[in-house]
Amino acid sequence: MPIWQVLLLGTIEGLTEFIPVSSTGHLLLAGHFLGFNSPGKTFEVLIQLGAILAVFTVYVRKLLAILFALPSDLRARRFVLGVLVAFLPAAVAGATLHDFIKQVLFETPWLICTTLVLGGIVLLAVDRLELEPRYRDVMDYPPSLAFKIGLCQCLALVPGVSRSGATIVGALLLGTDKRSAAEFSFFLAMPTMAGAFAYDLYKNWSLLESDDVAGIAVGFVAAFIAGVLVVNYLLEFISRHGFGLFAWWRIVVGGMGLGALIVLG
């Protein structure tokens, strides 16, 4: 793992994890064209821990306030329950389909580029809809709504779809506003990505060597720093500008990837 590639991929992970452009898709495409190979594609999954800690760092006060309020506050208990029930569908599907996802879907750059483009078109269309939100605060999301958002997250098991993109689009169509949809995606990312990290480490620990661990650690730090920057400013950007920029980003990157695959293979 050349250090510059590790730093580049870690930065890509941190910059793209929480915006609806598919961090996994970007990592796999970048790795494909760079000739970057990690054993069992573990690097691409394990460096997500840096992005998880970025969210935790930014939201630590709110998370602690929710934790301390659990015994007495119904809204806090409902919020925690909502995150847990939203996490379950992807956890079950991800564990069941783990080998197929890693060995087939992760190895198909044509699929990744196509889903990037199609996802960008969907995001652009939804962003332009005149939707009337019924929920503007993540603390008011009922568990039934959270579960439906969690079902949408399962679509992101296909690389290129985007975990945040699937949950945000699903939330918007189910009646949330843009800011709270993105914020709920942040909170849902923590158990989802932590679960993916733990399960992938369990499945592939025997494949890792000392050099791999060092590379993952460097990528983790890069992902953490980039992730903190994104989480700090993303909600305000979305509140003002929506998701149009990210939709076009997906379409351009996916289109360039398809062009590069045609030319370079």
Give, for all 265 residues of the chain, the pLDDT tens digit. 688 998 999 999 999 988 999 998 998 899 888 888 776 677 877 888 888 899 899 899 999 999 999 999 999 999 999 999 999 999 999 999 988 998 899 889 999 999 999 999 999 999 999 899 999 999 999 999 999 999 999 999 999 999 999 999 999 999 999 999 999 999 999 999 889 888 888 887 777 777 778 888 899 899 999 999 998 888 889 988 999 999 999 999 999 999 999 998 6
Q: What is the pLDDT of residue 187?
A: 94
What's this model's pTM, rounded to 2 decimal places? 0.89
Indicate the residue type of 130.
E
Q: What is the pLDDT of residue 38?
A: 74
Q: What is the pLDDT of residue 40?
A: 63
